[in-house]
Amino acid sequence: MRKLLFSLILLISVSFSKAGNPPDEGMWLPMFVERLNYVDMQKMGLKLTPQELYDINHSSLKDAIVNLGGFCTAEVVSSQGLLFTNHHCGYEAIQKHSSVEHDYLTDGFWAASFEEELPNEGLTVSFLVRMDDVTNLVTEKLKPEMSETERSAMISRVIEGLKTDASENGKYQVSVKSFYNGNEYYRFVYEVYRDIRLVGAPPSAVGKFGGDTDNWMWPRHTGDFSIFRIYAAPNGSPADYSKDNVPLKPKHFLTISPNGIQPNDFTMVWGFPGITDRYRTSHGINATLNEINPAIVRMGGVILDEMKKDMDASDETRIKYAAHYAGLANFWKNKIGETRGLKRLDVYSKKKAIEEHFTQWVNADQQRREIYGNVLQDMANSYDQLNSTGYNKQLWYFSMAFYGSKALPFPLANQGMINILKSGQKGDELKASLAPMMEAGKEHFKDYNPATEKKILIAILQTFKNDLPAAFLPDIYNEIDKKYKGNIASYVDMIFKESVLVDEGRYNAFLKKPSLKKLEKDPASKLTNSFYSYFMTQTMVANAAQEKLDKAERLFVDGLRKANPDKVYYPDANSTLRVSYGQVLDYFPADAVHYDYVTYADGILEKEDPTNEEFVVPAKLKELILKKDFGKWRDKEGRLPVCFISNNDITGGNSGSPMLNGKGELIGIAFDGNWEAMSGDIAFEPALQRTISVDIRYVLFIIDKFANAQRLIQELKFAESNY
């Protein structure tokens, strides 16, 4: 209650005071830190100069932070291109190298030499070379009378040009992204390395300790880290994997602090947060609570249940589906927590208060009324339309089905095959054209179990049928009704007996002797096409409402910023490099409950449960903890810190981000958020929202004492120890 009052007071006061966000809120653009945040950061304990943070002419801190594969963050920690990130960020790579014989998920993996470091096809690391404000270059081409479609087309055209201009003939990868819901545009120039090798990973009993039960929660005892290395051509430039590549000599790498943390210490996170939606309105909150999240949680839960049963029954299936399951379970639990948080923290009312203030501002001036007068009503109407047509629900059932099932999307990846077969190619020419499909099949079926996929597909089709009105179902359901008397199981049975797209043996045999007729009639392909085209039709129908919504959101954010000229609004996350700063801080999760800021190794033994795979403690770890054999990684009191929390503002994509102290030294690796503030992607909650990091001393302890991988410790650079 005190907090609600606090935010209301803050809201009311922002327009006429200099009060900005509390310092912990916001994911700031590095190029503006000097202007917007630096003084504040210095007051809180930052010791570096703005140029040491971000400089495009000299090496700076930003050069040690990389985007890992587009989904995580990693940091360079040695002069030989060594990278630290999370275990859950390396999880898929670790899984792909695992088999029942070499189960690196269970046992961990430690390369004993450079030669043993494992290449990962497709995994990339991107360094930000620079970013530029291109807002004017984009917006000068836009006219108020343009329709949203014309506007988007123009923006895409300008962006294409801006990308080409900066790419230096393909040397750099360039992206231009919209900020503040289409009100500003920035260009990002990246150098992308393509030979990234796995160097080390603890067993899941360390890296994923607590499993899905502890996920998204504090207190935590997870050693969520893994280690990779960037390789480059001998001249240092990016190159495809080759045994002649050498470890990258980076422009900059982080120094590690062995000195730990104290409550209220300054903390700073650099990384690539993926998506936040902090400007979502009360209408959006309603849609999230009533339509979107329930659909995600329902369909996600159905799929996870089927997958888990088969994973528990076979080690082979467990390994094959480990990364897929973890990703889906992570997203699913996030949405459960988000719903809970939105309700408990009454985010709807907070958004309403912002909107009321916005409306007052609009109504006070005729010109404002003309520009912004319809914004909130347009938003309400769009959401009404999207909900009444069932679009939001369908969208999320569909998305979860295509995300959770491996069989359902695969025919889409084979669309090109039809045209190849129609072209009449023969012999070697045909073989060459089909080679990419052969490759795609190898990749796809490697982590695929037909029996599991069959169960998942049955459950998905059944859930669509149970939950959606008949009028909202793709037309394939008519066929299921007619030919299979509505029996989904026997229909799916037939698919798994006949389709060449759901079984590795049949797929490969088909590619050796392809037939257009057979492919056109393929039942899996027919099912997927029916779902896909139904969904595309719905998307077309929803397009007008969606466009109206996009426009209203753009104007809302624009108006909001003008209505509160003294408040510095930070942009939503969009997978671009951001800085967030705050301090090490405990919290009170509920009435009379206090959560401290740090966990210790003893807590691992408190949680130990040998009968539950999520809470198994490896024998060697247990022994080290019992003997208090923590080496030089113990704190002054002889304890081993495991994880800590701080009030930095992060989200998914920040995973693996360096947690830095005031001198820019590495003190931890950020890996999670906390349950009490899971609505945080939509509204930051200062009193509750925390970032969970693994303490770097626990990481070093695992590398040194648990894994005996001293060759890695020797590569690192440490700040002087003060004890």
Q: Which residue, 64 or 326, is less far from ligand ARG as judged by CB? A: 326
CA 4, CA 685: separation in Å to the nearest integer? 10
Partners of residue 673 on adjacent β-strands? 691
Relative to beta strand 666-673, strand 658-660 is: antiparallel
- Contact between residue 386 and residue 546 where contact means Cβ atoms under 8 Å apart: yes
Question: Which position among 224, 378, 558, 695 bears the catalytic label?
Answer: 224
CB of 88 to ligand ARG, least distance (A): 4
Question: Which position among 178, 382, 646, 655 bears the catalytic label?
Answer: 655
Task: List Cβ<8 Å contacts ≥24 apart for 613-619.
Answer: 613/211, 614/208, 614/209, 614/210, 614/211, 614/212, 614/213, 614/214, 615/209, 615/210, 615/211, 615/213, 616/205, 617/205, 617/209, 618/203, 618/205, 618/206, 618/706
CA 92, CA 433: separation in Å to the nearest integer? 29
Q: Which residue, 248 or 642, is less far from ligand ARG as judged by CB? A: 642
Q: Which residues contact 70 (CB under 8 A, 6 or more apart)?
A: 124, 126, 575
Buried b (16+ CB within 10 A) or exposed e, 493-524: eebbeebbbbbeebbeebbeebeeeebeebbb
Partners of residue 11 on adjacent β-strands? none
Tokens representing 335?
């949405």
CA 400, CA 396: separation in Å to the nearest integer? 6
CB of 655 to ligand ARG, least distance (A): 4
CB of 467 to ligand ARG, least distance (A): 26
CB of 318 to ligand ARG, least distance (A): 14
Q: Which residue, 34 or 212, is less far from ligand ARG as judged by CB? A: 212
CA 691 to chain centre: 15
Question: Which position among 88, 283, 324, 444 bears the catalytic label?
Answer: 88
Distances (CA, A) of 66 to 78, 176, 267, 348, 657: 14, 18, 19, 36, 9
- Tokens 């999240």 map to which residue? 293
CA 153 to chain centre: 28
- Contact between residue 271 and residue 650 where contact means Cβ atoms under 8 Å apart: yes
CA 84, CA 695: separation in Å to the nearest integer? 13
Q: Which residue, 187 or 320, is less far from ligand ARG as judged by CB? A: 320
Q: Which residue, 420 or 642, is less far from ligand ARG as judged by CB? A: 642
CB of 322 to ligand ARG, least distance (A): 10
CA 400, CA 403: separation in Å to the nearest integer? 5
Q: Which residue, 194 or 221, is less far from ligand ARG as judged by CB? A: 221
* Binding-site ranges for ligand ARG (CB under 6 A): 88, 208, 211-212, 215-216, 326, 329-330, 652, 655, 671-672
- At 652, is the secondary structure helix, strand, or coil? coil
Distances (CA, A) of 713 to 200, 247, 618, 702: 12, 16, 22, 11
CB of 614 to ligand ARG, least distance (A): 8
- Tokens 């998506």 map to which residue? 275
Which helix (H) or strand (E) element contains residue 109?
A: strand 109-110
- Of the candidates 662, 719, 661, the one whose C-alpha atom is nearest the C-alpha of residue 695 is 661
Q: Which residue spans within 567-650 are E strands per DSSP?
A: 578-583, 587-590, 593-595, 598-600, 641-646
**Catalytic annotation on 655?**
yes
How many other C-beta atoms are found inside a 10 Å radius of the C-beta of residue 427?
7
Q: Which residues contact 612 (CB under 8 A, 6 or more apart)?
A: none
CB of 414 to ligand ARG, least distance (A): 31
Tokens representing 498?
């006949």
CA 229, CA 246: separation in Å to the nearest integer? 10
- Tell me the angle at which helices 293-313 and 315-344 cross, rounded to the nearest 10 degrees: 150
Tokens representing 65?
């932070």
Single-letter amino acid, residue 459: A
Tokens representing 570?
């930070």
Q: Which residue, 525 or 576, is less far from ligand ARG as judged by CB? A: 576
- Contact between residue 202 and residue 704 where contact means Cβ atoms under 8 Å apart: no
- Of the candidates 335, 354, 322, 265, the one whose C-alpha atom is nearest the C-alpha of residue 446 is 322
Single-letter amino acid, residue 349: S
How many other C-beta atoms are found inside a 10 Å radius of the C-beta of residue 49?
12
Q: Which residue, 84 or 231, is less far from ligand ARG as judged by CB? A: 84
Q: Which residue, 90 or 247, is less far from ligand ARG as judged by CB? A: 90
Which sequence positions are flagged as catalytic? 88, 224, 655
